[in-house]
Amino acid sequence: MSSLEITFLGTGTSQGVPVIGCDCPVCRSADARDQRTRTSLLLKAPESYFVIDTAPEFRIQCLRERVTRLDAALITHAHTDHIMGFDDMRRFCEMEDRAMPVYASEATMEGLKATFRYAFDEPQPWKNYLRLAPQVIRGPFQLGETTIVPVDLPHGKFTTTGFIFLRKGRKLLAYFTDCADVPPAAIDAAYGVEVLVLDALRERPHPTHMNFEHAMEISRLISPGNTWFIHLCHEVSHAAKQQDLPPGFHLAYDGLTLRVGES
């Protein structure tokens, strides 16, 4: 099968939504789609399950979505809102009694080591500890029958890793979070993808994230089947913004599941 099932575990910006101490309409909203945990994604292929990033709420996200299997983790960058649930992968190591493959760029892997030094030391003898099989990304790689193409994305002083997922030669998904732009090489690599997931923080410009206007420009250059926006801040009302978007553009929300490549 060439399909992927995609579940948005979290779709919020670094502070989440509601924001602590904020009384704005979105933070007070009764719309469940306005309640956003920090950004991460679950992908299920017929033969393997993997996540992109382990947000601070990763344990809660896994309980909410009843995730009981995890074969690998892909990390986009080492900012705290994308990695502070890293240790919660220990439960999957315990259940499956094996080390967890973790894929990250060399710089991101160094960031993980700096934060979670204990997990990178000599293998622990206890079954319920986090055990890792670190894999430094140096080009396209394979997880089961899924080919994953990494691309570099600018994010302030950081470089984020974007991922493009192919099965049987079909470009099913491009996942570009936390970026101020998408360079030509990444646009070319993702061109014509069926589902594009893009950082779109808010309406106003931001120095390290794309706003909606910029993200829509990038989407049109990539020409996907559909575009889903993530990493949304509390200035974005789901209902109001979705109503304003043209066909083919959508706001993702926590718990949303899509199936790609079934036809």
pLDDT tens track for 40-71:
999 999 999 999 999 999 999 999 999 999 99
pLDDT, average across residues 137-143: 98
User: Does residue 261 have a pLDDT over 70?
Assistant: yes
pLDDT given for residue 171 in this prediction:
98
CATH 3.60.15.10 is the classification of domain 4-257: yes
User: Does residue 1 have a pLDDT over 70?
Assistant: no
- Which has more confidence, 2 or 14? 14
Conformation bin of residue 16: beta by default, left when phi > 0, alpha when psi is -120 to 50: left
pLDDT tens track for 161-212:
999 999 999 999 999 999 999 999 999 999 999 999 999 999 999 999 999 9
Identify whether the C-beta of residue 241 lies closer than 8 Å to the C-beta of residue 211: no
Domain coordinates of the chain in residue numbers?
4-257
- Go through the chain and tell me how many residues it has: 263
Angle at 25 (CA atoms; ends 214, 13), nearest 5 degrees: 45
Closest CA to 66 of 36, 44, 90, 38: 44
Identify whether the C-beta of residue 189 lies closer than 8 Å to the C-beta of residue 162: no
% of the chain surpassing 70 pLDDT = 98
d(CA 33, CA 25): 13
Chain mean pLDDT for the chain: 96
pLDDT tens track for 90-134:
999 999 899 999 999 999 999 999 999 999 987 666 777 899 999
User: Does residue 263 have a pLDDT over 90?
Assistant: no
d(CA 36, CA 18): 7
pLDDT given for residue 129 in this prediction:
87
pLDDT given for residue 218 in this prediction:
98
